[in-house]
């Protein structure tokens, strides 16, 4: 079964829109400030998609475009001013940043209450402890995909390929929580004999950023395959045109029990979860998790 991330994302985007309407009736107008440094084509596309989603959900989106040569101090000053702006509920700095800007300094400057990406150490700490607060967008979206398609998580062997702070690590912690109760293996560049692990996975998540890293013979028959990777490749070489995931879709689709396409799988859910987090930030992050 091919997992339709767009359809499920539409459901959560509508939920976010309705929640935003309720907040606006109380005088709270959800607002996300998005900061883009430079003109990286992929980042421009992401920012444009986020702005469109905010507009459709009836939320305010403020765009701040800074040149690639902007001094770090100027970027930090902008963040500090947005922290103090009571009309701004979320702040998102589009990554990656130019080499002369310290990523950690930028993330640490964001008010944790406005950190809708869940990158700030305070929010990551709360997340790892299972406390109420923001949940990283892509891991939350993946969990909702698994639940929507009734893919068994409790007691399943989950293998995640990729240990980033954005996807791999937080997803491992989320699925290992007692509520989800999966047994999680986190693979990375130091993993010896990767196929040995991936073939044991009931749920295989590819989040390494390497096109077609996961081949058909690396997948357990009937497994759920979640492809987080998205890389622009020369037209015609990827399973879906110029965008290619970490999984060789043409080989995997006949082996997996469920699989997410690229595009149209995890990506739309990530943006939907961002909208959800903006609403939660405007409401005070009471998400019940």
Query: Domain containing 182 — which CATH number?
Result: 3.40.50.720
Q: What are the tens digits of pLDDT across the range 223-233?
A: 999 999 988 77
Q: Does 152 map to a domain?
A: yes
Instruction: Give the span between the Cα atoms of 25 and 2, in whole angstroms.
Output: 39
Question: How far is residue 212 from each of residues 12, 114, 251, measured CA to CA in Å?
Answer: 29, 36, 10
Q: Does 8 map to a domain?
A: no
End-to-end CA distance of the chain: 29
Q: Which residue has the tokens 């950190």?
A: 115
| 260 touches 3 (CB < 8 A) | yes
Q: Does 144 map to a domain?
A: yes
Q: What angle do CA 124, 88, 84 make, to 5 degrees?
A: 85
Considering its fold, how many domains does the chain have in total?
A: 2
> How high does pLDDT run on average in the chain?
94
Q: Does 287 map to a domain?
A: no
Q: What is the pLDDT of residue 284?
A: 86
Q: Does 163 map to a domain?
A: yes
Q: Does 96 map to a domain?
A: yes
> Same domain, yes or no, for 96 and 189?
no
> Same domain, yes or no, for 150 and 222?
yes
> Same domain, yes or no, for 167 and 255?
yes
Q: Judging by DSSP bridges, how do beta strands 31-37 and 258-259 pair with one another?
A: unpaired
> 234: pLDDT confidence band, cut at 50, 70 and 90?
low
> 219: pLDDT confidence band, cut at 50, 70 and 90?
very high
Q: What is the pLDDT of residue 285?
A: 59
> 288: pLDDT confidence band, cut at 50, 70 and 90?
very low
> Same domain, yes or no, for 75 and 159?
no
> Same domain, yes or no, for 152 and 96?
no
Q: Which residue has better confidence, 288 or 51?
A: 51
**Catalytic-residue membership of 19:** no
Query: Domain containing 76 — which CATH number?
Result: 3.40.50.10860
Give yes or no for residue 38 having a pLDDT over 70.
Answer: yes
Instruction: Give the span between the Cα atoms of 194 and 189, in whole angstroms.
Output: 9
What is the mean predicted confidence (pLDDT) over 118-125?
A: 96
Instruction: Give the span between the Cα atoms of 163 and 69, in whole angstroms.
Output: 30
Question: Which residue range forms the structural domain that includes residue 202?
Answer: 137-266
Q: What is the pLDDT of residue 233?
A: 73
> Same domain, yes or no, for 112 and 147?
no
Q: Does 127 map to a domain?
A: no
- Out of 114, 115, 117, 140, the active site residue is 117
> Same domain, yes or no, for 190 and 262?
yes
pTM of the model: 0.93
> Same domain, yes or no, for 148 and 257?
yes
Residue 111 CB neighbour total at 10 angstroms: 17
Q: Does 255 map to a domain?
A: yes
| 211 touches 233 (CB < 8 A) | yes
Contacts 24+ apart (CB under 8 A), 166-172: 166/117, 166/119, 166/136, 166/138, 167/136, 167/138, 167/139, 167/205, 167/207, 167/228, 168/205, 168/207, 170/118, 170/124, 170/127, 170/135, 170/136, 170/139, 171/136, 171/138, 171/139, 171/142, 171/205, 171/207
**Catalytic-residue membership of 117:** yes
**Catalytic-residue membership of 50:** yes
- Out of 19, 50, 114, 220, the active site residue is 50
> Same domain, yes or no, for 147 and 238?
yes
Q: What is the pLDDT of residue 287?
A: 41
């Amino acid at each position: 079964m091919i997992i339709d991330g767009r359809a499920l994302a539409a459901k959560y985007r509508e939920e976010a829109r309705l929640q935003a309407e309720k907040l606006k009736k109380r005088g709270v107008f959800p607002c996300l400030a998005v900061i883009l440094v430079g003109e990286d084509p992929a980042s421009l596309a992401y920012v444009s998609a986020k702005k469109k989603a905010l507009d459709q959900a009836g939320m305010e989106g403020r765009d701040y475009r800074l040149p690639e040569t902007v001094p770090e101090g100027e970027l930090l000053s902008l963040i500090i001013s947005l922290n103090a702006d009571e009309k701004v509920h979320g702040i998102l700095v589009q990554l990656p940043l130019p080499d002369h800007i310290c990523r950690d300094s930028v993330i640490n400057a964001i008010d944790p209450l406005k950190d809708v990406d869940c990158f700030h150490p305070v929010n990551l700490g709360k997340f790892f402890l299972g406390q109420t607060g923001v949940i990283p967008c892509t891991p939350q979206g993946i969990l909702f995909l698994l639940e929507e398609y009734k893919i068994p998580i409790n007691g399943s062997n989950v293998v995640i390929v990729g240990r980033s702070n954005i996807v791999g690590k937080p997803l491992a912690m989320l699925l290992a929580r007692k509520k989800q109760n999966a047994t999680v293996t986190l693979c990375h560049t130091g993993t010896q004999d990767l196929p040995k692990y991936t073939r044991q996975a009931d749920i295989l998540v590819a989040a390494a950023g390497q096109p077609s890293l996961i081949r058909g013979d690396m997948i357990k028959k009937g497994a759920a395959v979640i492809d987080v990777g998205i890389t622009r490749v020369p037209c015609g070489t990827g399973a879906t045109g110029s965008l290619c995931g970490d999984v060789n879709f043409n080989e995997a689709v006949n082996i997996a029990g469920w699989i997410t396409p690229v595009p149209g799988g995890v990506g739309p859910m990530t943006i939907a979860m961002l909208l959800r987090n903006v609403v939660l930030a405007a409401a005070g992050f009471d998400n019940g998790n």
